[in-house]
Structures are given as C-alpha cells and as structure tokens.
Structure 1
C-alpha cells in the first residue's frame, strides 16, 4: 500500500488513527465499512476499520482488557467465516430498505 502524506508530513494512517480518537468519527468510519457497494460487503475492510479504531483507543489508553479480548475474538471470527452471517444480515436489511448504523454511546 502506498503511503500518502498529509500537509504536516504525517502518514495517512497516523492521521486516520488520530481522527478516530473522536467517537463520532470512529462510529461513522465503522458504519461506512458496513455499507454495501456495487461489489457487495467487504469483510476485510470492516476488519481493517475495527483494527484502526482499536489502535486509536489504545493510543488514548482507552481500551479495556475486556474490549481487547472481544476484538481479538471478533477479528478471528471475521477472518474464519469471512463475516458470512454479518454479510447475510446486511444484505437482508438492504433488501428490506434498511441499513445498519453505528453510533457513539455518549
């Protein structure tokens, strides 16, 4: 993957992680990864987005051991199943005219 630089010479990934420290942005970022596009749902993009949010929380020292363990379990499950159940749910909701949304708790 080509590294993209921002105006302050920080890598795009560093900028992204920094922006994901904001709960509203993190929720929006993960929500976008749940949406269907012309090619369908991309479980690898969701896994990557979840990892980015976890990285941001770790940088803030705001990730509990429980959350870390749950992320590891979820990540393993998404890798093994290619998120088949989640993809079916997203496609079903889409057929009904709905979509999943992620919002910050406050």
Structure 2
C-alpha cells in the first residue's frame, strides 16, 4: 500500500515566502464560484506560515481568533479590519484593474492599482 506525505507541511513551508502567500490569497479571491470557507482556510494557512517569525505563539493564536471575528463581520468595516489583519503579517490588501476590464467601465482613477492601508 502506497503512503503519501501530508500536503499541509509542504504548503505552509511555501507560504512562508510572503510573495507566495499573497499569490495564494489572490488565487482564492479570483475563484469564479467563491467559497467563504475556503477563504478562511487559506487565510488561516497564511497566518500559520507567516506568524511564526513575526509573533509569539500567544499573539499568533489571538491573530487566528481575530480572523474568525473579522470574517463574520458584514460590510466595509470587515474590509478595513482584514487590511489591518493582513498588515500584521506583512501583507497588504490591494485592488487592481481586472484583465478583462470592460471598455465601458468607469475609470475612477488614473492609477491601475489602489492600496488600502491603515
């Protein structure tokens, strides 16, 4: 009988690179049929990977608990809180122009990317 290693340790080791972590979250957010549970799992994986060198174990545990609270919020407050949550991990929440942008879309800014920072 063949045995296999768990994918989780491999994933966490790669998510320790903030660039990989950002792309991982971006991929989840770009899903055509979004699943809120999948986003929570992905953000939890990123926190597990990045908290190790940035926080004590108590701070990391609190940070994971804060994620559940943030994702249960509704409206714009949740977005700002998520931006702050990501900032503690060395990441930022960014909005960019979609590749399939419709020409009839309203152009609100000359910039192709806007960053939410706290």
Which TM class, normalised by the smaller chain length? 0.5 to 0.7
CA RMSD, Structure 1 to Structure 2 (Å): 3.7
**Which of 45, 64, 67 is 1:74 aligned to?**
67
Gaps of 5+ in 2: 80-96, 103-112, 114-118
Greater C-alpha Rg: 2
**Which of 51, 61, 77 is 2:53 aligned to?**
61
After TM superposition, the runs of 4+ consecutive aligned structure 1 residues lying more than 2 A away are: 60-65, 67-74
Structure with more contact order per residue of length (Cα contacts < 8 Å, sep ≥ 6): 1
Name whichever structure is richer in strand by fraction: 2
Separation (CA, whole Å) in 1 of partners of 2:37 and 2:101: 24
TM-score normalised by length of structure 1: 0.55
Gaps of 5+ in 1: 102-106
TM-score normalised by length of structure 2: 0.50
**Which of 23, 26, 32 is 2:21 aligned to?**
26
Separation (CA, whole Å) in 2 of partners of 1:13 and 1:56: 11
Q: Is the 8 A contact 1:21 1:57 kept in 2?
A: yes
